Amino acid sequence: MTLFLGIDGGGTGCRAIVADATGAVLGTGSAGPSNIVSDPDGALASILAAAGAALGSHGRLDDLHAVLGLAGGNVAEAVETLVSRLPFASALVVNDGVTAVKGALGDDDGVMAAIGTGTIFAVQRAGQIREIGGWGFILGDEASGAWMGRRLLAMGLRAIDGFVPGTPFLDEIFAELGGAAQIVGAAPGMRPADFARLAPRILAAAEAGDPAARRVVDDSVAEVAAAIELLQGGETLPVVFLGGLGPLHAGRLKHRWPQQAALGGSVEGAVFMARRRHEAGLGR
């Protein structure tokens, strides 16, 4: 019996799909967080729970040829430890960016632009994937929701100092958050998701014409365009926009490159990779 397992796992949860050789889905499962760097035991337990639920009574864990797309899937030591403990027939661990690309594009050439709390940009050409961005909130993730929120608050402080003009939306947000001293005091303890929570408000304010919000949105679109441009390298590959802010950028950049919808998500990409690996004679 040859079955295929796709896993998509990270800090918030873990999802699994089991499929047969034709790609027909036999079952799905989900479980808790699977951060293989900060909690290897918990991650293993989550992965096995999700895989077991997806497998049901279709076979045994050692029938499964698995591909796991995991946050932290590029940390070699954590990956080696995990793989040595997995009961599957074969297992390949990759960064979740890779399974996201495969889920979005399958085998097709194209660009993936995932813009949510963070960002990932990647291009696939003849099955080869190149990822850029995604370096996190402190040093990267330009254009992300977290980046937009931080930028708006920083702009509000620059307005108080007199470097840039104040706007009604900046005043509104600063009043809501208790003023500059409160915001500055809270900032070191805020997580990326806290800053990203401002993004929908910024979009709405930009839509309504607030100059500060428009500036943040325009700068975000410019960053996304620059990343896609870099990955295109002069080509006009189709672009798949993902993430909570994907629709914004898809709309703003719709005349620039052809666009297509994602075939599936990261977990679908993982099970797709598992089948392709087996067809290619790998992982037996």
In the complex, the residues that contact a copy of itself under the rule CB under 8 A are 37, 74-75, 132-133, 135-140, 150, 153-154, 157-158, 161-163, 180-181, 183-185, 187-188, 190, 226-227, 230
CB of 206 to a copy of itself, least distance (A): 20
Query: Using alpha carbons only, what angle is made at residue 145 by residues 137 and 222, rounded to the nearest 5 degrees?
Result: 95
Please say which residue, 56 or 136, places its beta carbon nearer to a copy of itself: 136
Q: How far apart are CA 263 and CA 55, in angstroms?
A: 23
DSSP one-letter string for 47-84:
HHHHHHHHHTTS--GGGEEEEEEETTTT-HHHHHHHHH
Q: In what order do the strands lie in the sheet with 128-132?
A: 128-132, 119-125, 110-115, 239-242
Which residue in this structure is represented by tokens 């067809």? Answer: 279
Q: Which H or E run includes 5?
A: strand 3-9
Please say which residue, 50 or 123, places its beta carbon nearer to a copy of itself: 123
Please say which residue, 142 or 268, places its beta carbon nearer to a copy of itself: 142
Phi, psi (rounded to 5 degrees) for 191: -90, 165
CB of 106 to a copy of itself, least distance (A): 25
DSSP 3-state of 122:
strand
Please say which residue, 38 or 236, places its beta carbon nearer to a copy of itself: 38
User: Which residue type does 130 have?
Assistant: R
CB of 24 to a copy of itself, least distance (A): 37
Please say which residue, 28 or 74, places its beta carbon nearer to a copy of itself: 74
CA distances from 112 to 97, 116, 159, 280 (A): 10, 13, 35, 24
CB of 142 to a copy of itself, least distance (A): 9
CB of 167 to a copy of itself, least distance (A): 17
CB of 50 to a copy of itself, least distance (A): 25
Residue 164 DSSP label: S
Please say which residue, 133 or 269, places its beta carbon nearer to a copy of itself: 133
